[in-house]
Amino acid sequence: MGRMTTRQPVLRLRAGRAARRPDSLAVEEPLMVRVGGEAVTLTMRTPGHDFDLIAGWLVSEGSVAVPGDIVTMRMCKDEDNTVEVSLAPAAVPPRPRAFATSSACGVCGADSIEAVRTAMRWPVAGDDTQSDVGILSGLPDLLRSEQKLFDRTGGLHAAGLFTATGQPLVVREDVGRHNAVDKVVGSALRAGLLPLRGHVLQVSGRASFELVHKAAAAGIPVMAAVSAPSSLAVELAEDCGITLLGFVRGGGMNVYTHQERVRVGPIPRQRELT
């Protein structure tokens, strides 16, 4: 496993003062994935939990569903940052990507929204999971407390998987928000936990279409983001039956879809201005 952080000398300017000092940076390196000897994708990621990353990506591609679908994963000894994957006969080989996936985008290779939706093998619309608003509003702080690399670099996204009662199961960090989610889902797959009914996915940034897709592909009924969702993310969450929360911070949140999963107490009636 490569280094997750590196040190770089910088000129620090603060309050009219200048000082030279080393600064910690999050490492971003390519990772080539081969399945059955064929290169299928090249993604930019922060080294660490690479097997989780690949397993989660294969889930979102609709290739695997249980741990046994992945026979082996190994780092290639003759090529840096390359992983060779062997799938079981019942697994569906992923479609090769014709270009690299950056740390900012995870579904650019999809031919259409409909093609992405076909990867969702576990419907979540019937999941009757409910969680208290107080628990959900506290998840960003729980996630932040586990962001050890962010404390050192300030340059990493995070994703965390929680139970509906707020118990953390796994937290992963990466320069790419979609990579962080893949690492979480991949960890759950390898532990035999999929589909993730009754769980909540909390992410540190915004809620994009690709992240909602990854939640749906893993059977996660509730997804929460610290920042805003995109219009397409809301549309996909509504269609898939996912409860999508945005602006989860400061004790509040916006519930964009499937509000029935969020338990709230009595809401004071807003007083009209006169």
3-state secondary structure of 138: helix
| Closest CA relative to residue 177, chosen from 221, 225, 138 | 225
3-state secondary structure of 45: strand
What is the spatial distance between Cα 198 and Cα 175, in angstroms, rounded to a whole number?
28
Active site residue 105: yes
Contact (CB, 8 A) for 164 and 200: yes
What are the φ and ψ backbone dihedral angles of 170, each rounded to 5 degrees?
Answer: -155, 140
Hey, which residues does 36 pair with through a beta bridge? none
Amino acid, res. 27: V
Neighbours of 224 (CB within 10 A): 26
What is the spatial distance between Cα 146 and Cα 136, in angstroms, rounded to a whole number?
16
Strand 199-203 and strand 222-225: pairing? parallel
From 76, 105, 108, 240, the catalytic residue:
105
Hey, which residues does 224 pair with through a beta bridge? 202, 245
For 20, half-sphere exposure in the C-beta direction (CA atoms, 13 angstrom radius) is 1
Catalytic residues: 105
